[in-house]
Amino acid sequence: MFCLCCILLGKKMQGSSDYFLTSGDKIRFFFEKGVLDKKGNFLIPKEKSISKIGHALHAYDPVFKQITHSSKVQELGRKLGLERPVVVQSMYIFKQPGIGGEVTPHQDATFLHTEPLGRILGFWIALEDATQENGCLWFIPGSHTNGITRRMVRAPSGASTCVEFVGSEPAYDDSQFIPLPIKKGGLILIHGEVVHKSELNSSESSRHAFTFHVMEAKGTTWSKENWLQPTPELPFPSLYT
């Protein structure tokens, strides 16, 4: 879900770590691994190489802003008991045919940490049918009750990488995961601590999805160590309008 590698646009490197760390209040483009040769030339058509667009579609793109703040989403938020939900990020995920990369098992709260835990909720909207063949999501039922064992935080100034992991990554039993295929237009709600993954898309069909994360802001502290931070230009906007 989170692209931490250098971002290459054509032959020009876009500042790698800075390009990623400052994308929270912008719309930026992230490519799949292995789509460029050593000289920075695309090995496949550029439009087929993109992995995702993020992380502020909800704020600056009128279509995705409308979807994020739609009456259906706001009604669902209220039914879930969210009192002061704010939108922290959004992404368009392509999962390209044949090359759409594997997303290894993870918990969203590893990347979007709050005190207390349990305040992050992902909205994952299928824009195309998501099947086992093209890389649907897989979950470990009940894993949201076990907390988290590691966090991704901003690396100290001068470090060789922009982020680093603190804590240990547990070994997950593949037999515990169950697939969750979903039809175009369907919605999956993802608890911030549930363990989930997706496999490589080895099919001939893409698996487009729009996803955004909401934080219950009431009584919640957003970690200043998170890679994603609100800015003066884009404070986390309220889900409710």
Instruction: Give tens-digit pLDDT for 124-138.
Output: 999 999 999 999 999
pLDDT tens string 52-103: 999 999 999 999 999 999 999 999 999 999 999 999 999 999 999 999 999 9
* Whole-number Å distance between alpha carbons of 26 and 181: 31
Tens digit of each residue's pLDDT (9 = 90 or more) over 36-63:
898 889 999 988 999 999 999 999 999 9
pLDDT score of 11 more than 80: no
| Cβ-based neighbour number of residue 6 at 10 Å | 14
User: Which of 229, 220, 224, 225 has its CA nearest to residue 115?
Assistant: 220
E-state strands within the chain: 8-9, 12-13, 27-31, 50-55, 85-93, 103-106, 114-115, 120-126, 137-139, 150-154, 163-167, 178-180, 187-191, 196-198, 209-216, 221-222
* Degrees, nearest 5: CA angle 141-81-193: 30
Domains, the chain, with CATH or none: 13-222 (2.60.120.620)
Kindly report, residue by residue over 171-209, the tens digit of the pLDDT.
999 999 999 999 999 999 999 999 999 999 999 999 999
Query: Among 93, 83, 84, 64, which Cα is nearest to 1's?
Result: 93
What mean pLDDT value characterizes the chain? Answer: 92
